[in-house]
Structure 1
Amino acid sequence: MELTFIETSHPLYPAELELRFQVLRAPLGFDRSSVKFPFDAESLHLVAVDEGNVIGCVLFHPEGAHTGRLFQMAVEPSRQKTGLGAQLVRALEKALVARGFQEVTLHARAHVAGFYERLGYEVHGEPFVEVGIPHLHMRRRL
């Protein structure tokens, strides 16, 4: 298994989109068109690849010189709870520090906020609803 950054022109990008759809959107009843963000091309895409298959991903969109938002974190269901998600987040954070970023924010689905808290993220602000489900604002200084 390897972690690698890809761009939207990379041959693995369609597989990343499919993973994001299957894990994050299909369970909520959304169609495939909902998985692509207008700022995908300007975002960092870190994927976990095993035997040519994308088994995990996490994206980051810069929102200032030193801050930005982690989004679209997805791990293939059979690989969840194996540490792969934490590995993806830590590798992304390491790359962000090297690029001069100092803070990461995110919108965590409420039922997975504990995952991010274990990685040092803190809840701030009030809970809110996004894509029809409860979310929390979270952030972490790098």
Structure 2
Amino acid sequence: MNTIAATRGPFRVEAVEFANAAEDLLAVREQVFVVEQNVPVEEERDALDPRCAHVIARDRAGEPVGTGRLVPPPDESAPARIGRMAVLRDWRGAGVGDAMLHALLRLARGHGWSDIALNAQVSAQAFYARHGFVPVGERFMEAGIEHQALRRRIDRPQAIDDRDAAVAVTAAIIGQARHGLHVYSRELDPGLLDAPRVLEAMRALCTRGDGVQVQVLLQDAAAPQRALAPLLALAQRLPSAIAFREVADPVDHKYPSAYLANDDGGYYFRPLGHRLEGEAETGAAGRARQLAEHFRPVWERARPCTEYRALGL
């Protein structure tokens, strides 16, 4: 059992058996999902509950304020799934969700389940990104609410295998950045950095007005200009936030990889820069810092893309 001091008073998070705590678990879920979000009660409840590991958060008086569950993997090749994460309105922002998610991940480790998946409401995606979950595939509708599939490996980074996953994780890493983002690309990655979802994430980051700096290193600065890459047009409108340089040292031209790394522990690394396959994490400060340390000296010896200034960049 964990007892945690919160801004709304102390609460505790504990693992419970569904049979012993069903009334409290379902009361919180019904308030959040059925009453607040208009999810049909027959969709909120299912036959999996008795098989799941559950956690519940209780206030000082023992009243339930939050719930979550861990669904066992159906077979060895499938992930365990986190779901039914719900926190009563008055307790949101007090750390209840973080504490419950940590407890669920500890339960997964205890069972030896290293691959964890969940379907998050898009409004909660940033919360899960802070805990190392990366997006997989396109968004979808569930119970009338837009969702994003997320995945996390407890034992290693998440593999990115296709364009949908690449676009989703790139947008997430951009959105997670606090003040800085490093982009190392061959020629602005057509099909990735020109995806509408990625461009919208970049626009949102660069218009926050808190000194955000995006540095983009290219191996071929002419190709994006010839292709009228949309990111160049965005940078034209936001010249103080986005800067471009082209590698000049022959050794740097031979570098085969590409990556994004933000200043909040998020990265997406592709061993072969002309392909999208790679690995990503959103809670790996050490690896993100390592990539930033690789980036900085290359940036310093690279040449500014003065030809972009003719475009108003």
**TM superposition score normalised by structure 1:** 0.91
Determine the structure 2 residue equivalent to 1:6.
Answer: 16
Pick from 121, 124, 127: which aligns with 2:133? 121
What amino acid is aligned across from residue 69 of structure 1 in structure 2? Answer: R
Q: Do 1:20 and 1:72's aligned partners in 2 also have CA atoms closer than 8 Å?
A: yes
Alignment partners' CA distance in 2, 1:21 and 1:13: 12
Pick from 138, 143, 146: which aligns with 1:134? 146
Higher relative strand content:
1
> Sequence identity, in percent?
26
Pick from 26, 33, 37: which aligns with 1:24? 33
Structure 1 spans left out of the alignment, 5+ residues: none
Query: More deviation in 87-96 or 21-30?
Result: 21-30
What amino acid is aligned across from residue 41 of structure 1 in structure 2? Answer: P
Alignment partners' CA distance in 2, 1:32 and 1:96: 27
Pick from 107, 113, 119: which aligns with 1:107? 119
Pick from 40, 48, 59: which aligns with 1:39? 48
Over the aligned positions, Cα root-mean-square deviation in angstroms equals 1.5
| In the alignment, structure 1 residue 61 sits paired with structure 2 residue 71 | yes
What amino acid is aligned across from residue 113 of structure 2 in structure 1? Answer: F
Query: More deviation in 65-74 or 132-141?
Result: 65-74
C-alpha deviation, 1:76, in angstroms: 1.2
- Seen in structure 2, the aligned counterparts of structure 1 residues 31 and 131 have a Cα distance that, compared at 3 Å, is closer
What amino acid is aligned across from residue 4 of structure 1 in structure 2? Answer: E
Query: More deviation in 45-54 or 114-123?
Result: 45-54
For 1:10-65, what per-residue CA distance to the aligned partner results, in whole angstroms no more than 9, with x for missing partners?
0x321110100111222232444443211111111111122221111111101234
What is the DSSP-based 3-state SS (H/G/I as helix, E as strand, rest coil) of the residue aligned with 1:37?
Answer: coil
Q: Do 2:33 and 2:39's aligned partners in 1 also have CA atoms closer than 8 Å?
A: no
- Seen in structure 2, the aligned counterparts of structure 1 residues 37 and 116 have a Cα distance that, compared at 3 Å, is same
For 1:91-124, what per-residue CA distance to the aligned partner results, in whole angstroms no more than 9, with x for missing partners?
1101211210101100000111111011110001
What is the DSSP-based 3-state SS (H/G/I as helix, E as strand, rest coil) of the residue aligned with 1:46?
Answer: strand
Higher RCO (C-alpha 8 Å, min separation 6): 1
What is the DSSP-based 3-state SS (H/G/I as helix, E as strand, rest coil) of the residue aligned with 1:138?
Answer: strand
- Seen in structure 2, the aligned counterparts of structure 1 residues 113 and 56 have a Cα distance that, compared at 3 Å, is same
Runs of 4+ in 1 over 4 A off after TM superposition: none
Q: Do 2:82 and 2:104's aligned partners in 1 also have CA atoms closer than 8 Å?
A: no
- Seen in structure 2, the aligned counterparts of structure 1 residues 127 and 32 have a Cα distance that, compared at 3 Å, is closer
What amino acid is aligned across from residue 122 of structure 1 in structure 2? Answer: V
Q: Do 2:69 and 2:82's aligned partners in 1 also have CA atoms closer than 8 Å?
A: yes
Q: How many residues align?
A: 141
**TM superposition score normalised by structure 2:** 0.43
